[in-house]
Amino acid sequence: MAFENETTMLHDALISCKVPDIAKAVQTAKDAGMPADEIINTLGAAMSDVGVLFERGKLFLPHVLSAAAGMKNAMAALDDQLKAGSGSTEAKGVAVMGTVEGDVHDIGKSICSTMLQCAGFEVRDLGRDVPLKNIVEECKNGCNFCGMSALMTTTMTGMKVVIDQLNEAGIRENVTVMVGGAPVTQGYADKIGADIYGESASETTKKATAVAAD
């Protein structure tokens, strides 16, 4: 495989979550002739691993953000090459995120927003206890992903309301709906017509990335 050493070096540098090490690895890979989009894709895959390690308690939120900062710097450093080639510095997608109305739990949602941002999505996080109509209105402003979180069996019903309202607004086809939270299951997601169910923030991010790549 071409650039095998550089791939490993980039992966390990991002997992280390040290901004200078990431920058050094990017420069080394660039000097070795590794294409910019391959560098970014390698870092992106490593970013998914960072998410899993965070959820397993091996890395912590400041690490995740450092890795994200390193990734951001890498994209800036490779900007010219990415624009010249087939790569892109544009966001993978725009995600509107929020904890549904009546629910004030937001740690999981915030972590998911962070991971999506680190994975290259533009995130508009509306916070917690978000009125359902506000989620729909923000989606109408232009997004292709809508992520909702709920930690209570009584508030998760709001997710179906939002999906129905996206249908009524005629934008449902353009929006990938993601749902998550402790009481939410794949079965529930299927029942309400959501597109993605994430058991964890990293799983949600992985699935969203796969959809964005299609």
Partner 1 sequence: MGDGSRKWMSREQIRADVEDGMRNAVECAEVPDLTEDDISRIVEIMCEKGRTVSVEPGEEVILTQDGGELKLLNDSGSSSPVLEMSRTAAIQVHERALGMDTFEVAYFDPSTKMVKPVIGMEMAHCQNVMYNTIIPMLYMFMPNIGLYYQPTGPFGNPPDLMREFKIEEAMEAGELAMNAMRDDIVFIGERILSTGMDGLDFDTTASGGDLDFVGSLQAVEELRKTYPDADIQMGMSAESVLGINGMCEYAGQLAAGLYPHQQVKLAEAAGVSTFGPVVNTNSSMSTAWNVARAVTMVKECSKVSKIPLQVNMGMGVGGTPMFETPPIDAVTRADKCMIEIAHVDGL
Q: Given the rule CB under 8 A, which residues bind partner 1? A: 54-63, 65, 69, 103-107, 110-111, 113-114, 117, 123, 125, 127-128, 151-155, 182-183, 185-188, 199
Nearest-angstrom CA–CA distance, 37 and 26: 12
Nearer to partner 1, 65 or 161 (CB): 65
Looking at the Cβ atoms of 70 and 87, the one nearer to partner 1 is: 70
- Least distance CB 1 / partner 1 (angstroms): 27
Residue 119 CB, shortest distance to partner 1, in Å, is 13
The type of residue at 109 is K
- Considering the complex, what minimum distance in angstroms separates the CB of residue 45 from partner 1? 20
Alpha-carbon distance 213 to 45, whole Å?
A: 13
At residue 131, what are phi and psi to the nearest 5 degrees? -50, 135
Nearer to partner 1, 111 or 163 (CB): 111
**Residues 6+ away with beta carbon under 8 Å from 183:** 150, 151, 152, 153, 156
Q: Is the Cβ of residue 169 or residue 182 nearer to partner 1 in the bound state?
A: 182
6 vs 138 by CB, closer to partner 1: 138
Min separation Cβ 152 and partner 1, Å: 3
Q: Taking the complex as a whole, how short is the minimal distance between the CB of residue 33 and partner 1, in angstroms?
A: 31
Q: Which is nearer to partner 1, 104 or 169 (CB)?
A: 104
**Rounded to the nearest whole angstrom, what is the least distance from the CB of residue 92 to partner 1 in the complex?**
16
CA distance linking residue 42 with residue 141, whole number of Å? 32
